[in-house]
Amino acid sequence: MSLVITSIEAKDIRFPTSKSLDGSDAMHTDPDYSAAYVILETNDTSLEGHGLTFTLGRGNELCVAAINSLSHLLIGKSLEDFTSDMAGFWRMITNDSQLRWVGPKKGIIHMATGAIVNAVWDLYAKSEKKPLWKLISDMSAEQLVSCIDFTYLTDVITSEEAIEMLSKLEATKYQRVDFLFKNGYPAYTTSAGWMGYSEEKIRRLSCDAKNEGWTHLKMKVGGNINEDIRRAQIIREEIGDGVKLMMDANQKWEVDEAIQNMKSLAKFNPWWIEEPTSPDDILGHLAIANAISPIKVATGEHCQNNVMFKQFLKSGAMSICQIDSCRIGGVNEALSIMLMAAKLNIPVCPHAGGVGLCEYVQHLAMIDYISISGSLDNRIIEYVDHLHENFIDPVIINDGNYMPPLKAGYSITMKKSSIDAFTYPSGKMWKIESVMV
Ligand SMILES: [Mg+2]
């Protein structure tokens, strides 16, 4: 019996994280971590596909509406219609002749695409009874490359080149799988460095992070520069010189301001500065990278699509590539970006945190290591200790490393009790919030 998608449900789920300032940074001062959550129902009642795109609260309803607008492209189709030609599936969903006008491949419609595409991959992995990372790393070089649409990318990489590149790694693939089962994939924590935390809390969390074995820690910057210096000083005092420190300005600065401020913060020896300025400013990032070397420039969580990534990667404006699992259009597009980064020898360090992003990106980073770049050099996944309890298959961290997920799917299925309680505005957690305000 072929598996047919019979309906698509899109849910508006929001967590009231703004109350504790978890996730606060220079630009996003009061986020309510939220998910536009997709459920693909099928003719097999025991098998559903799940996906989400992450937002900060207000506007989540726009992603839900965009998911509903895309759903006619899937309903009534069989999973095999898509899996027999994954690149064709992605071209189809990103090229609807009317919907593409509100993109193409950018903004809300593309975030909604990410949620749906990821739900299809989740369904595919569940139907094959494998975790997503295993489903894709078991593919031959030809099969993996056949999942990627190379439109507008061929000046950097062609499918033939990609097959040649990945074929070289095939013989040693399962050694890397063994390595992951033994050691996990290295992670860093952002939990200590949120902008809204008090000095005492930053000091305590930095000390805890070091004691828990974290070797890399990220802090938010982009507030008053003297306060950024003060917070960096506290963190360095607590973590010592042996722990790498990264900084994230969340797009706050002008280009010249970024250069000036990073010269003031250089004494704390940051490994990278993340999103120093507008996420669309390729030339600005390049100017910053040239001025503050050897500090690296990291960006990507707000980079809209693989054509933008191509330009950042090719020009030298991005020395750490921070793919996001659902701002771009899901797994297929993530694979294309990881391929370009591998060819240009730029490490991929996925953006996570949020809700569900850690669950998602662990799969992508493991695929990168096993099948695409074959390397862990300067590669590390973000980790934030928020909201994992809402997922059926939450991430497992051992001594600062992500352990390979074992359950079938993309690890993004939320518990039904969480979906019910945090559905906005009718869920019981939001009813309690409105009574308390
Ligand atoms: Mg960031």
What backbone phi and psi angles, to 5 degrees, belong to 414? Answer: -90, 155
CB 113 within 8 A of CB 330: yes
Asked if the model's pLDDT at residue 15 lies above 60, the reply is yes
- Point out the least confidently predicted range of 14-23, 61-70, 87-96, 249-258: 14-23
Report the separation in Å between the CA atom of 126 and the middle of ligand 1, taken as the mean of its atom positions. Answer: 31
The contacts of residue 138 (CB under 8 Å, 6+ apart) are 130
Judge residue 166's burial from the number of C-beta atoms within 10 Å of its C-beta, 0-12 exposed, 13-18 middle, 19 or more buried.
buried
Quote the CA–CA distance of 9 and 227 in Å, as a whole number. Answer: 45
**102: helix, coil or strand?**
helix
Could you give the residue numbers annotated as active site? 220, 351
Report the separation in Å between the CA atom of 275 and the middle of ligand 1, taken as the mean of its atom positions. Answer: 7
Quote the CA–CA distance of 318 and 325 in Å, as a whole number. Answer: 18
CA 123, 151, 347 angle in degrees (round to 5)?
A: 75
Strands 216-220 and 401-402: unpaired
Q: Which domains occur in the chain, in start order?
A: 165-416 (3.20.20.120)
- Which pLDDT score is estimated for 1? 80
DSSP E strands in 352-395: the ranges are 381-383
pTM higher than 0.85 for the full model? yes
Judge residue 168's burial from the number of C-beta atoms within 10 Å of its C-beta, 0-12 exposed, 13-18 middle, 19 or more buried.
exposed
Helices (H) then strands (E): counts for the chain: 17, 12
Q: What is the mean pLDDT of the chain?
A: 95
Tokens 């404006």: give the residue: 317
Report the separation in Å between the CA atom of 437 and the middle of ligand 1, taken as the mean of its atom positions. Answer: 30
Report the separation in Å between the CA atom of 246 and the middle of ligand 1, taken as the mean of its atom positions. Answer: 10
* Confidence band for 213, pLDDT divided at 50, 70 and 90: confident
